[in-house]
Amino acid sequence: MGKFVLVYTGGGMPETEEEQAAVMAAWGAWYQGLGEAVADPGNPFSPAVKNITSDRNVSDGAIGTASSGYTILNADSMEAAIGMAKNCPMLDGNGQITVYETFEM
């Protein structure tokens, strides 16, 4: 079994309390359906972003497209992790998901 990091980009914030409640319910149902596969439910990222280059210079903003959050899953394979990610509510909010497989060092 491996760990897979789902990195979210895009998406939007619900505007009304009703929409917020619906989005939170969808995330709760997704996490509940994943059960033990959730290693870390993650969090959204704030807009405070810095990047550090190889020469140690620090500047504002993301390198490339800014990410909006993450989740870490346990799965038997990349295909299994992708299957779980395809049901993520992030996709319903016009977001995208990049799946990274990690490895032990």
What is the pTM for the complete model shown? 0.90
For the residues 2-27, what does the mean pLDDT come to?
Answer: 93
Domain count, the chain: 1
Question: The tokens 């394979």 sit on which residue?
Answer: 77
Phi, psi for residue 74 in degrees, rounded to 5:
-95, 130
Integer Cα distance of 55 and 43 in angstroms: 30
Task: Return the pLDDT at 19.
Answer: 92
User: What CATH number is attached to the domain comprising 34?
Assistant: 3.30.70.1060
Domain that holds residue 75: 2-101
- Give percent of the chain above pLDDT 90: 86
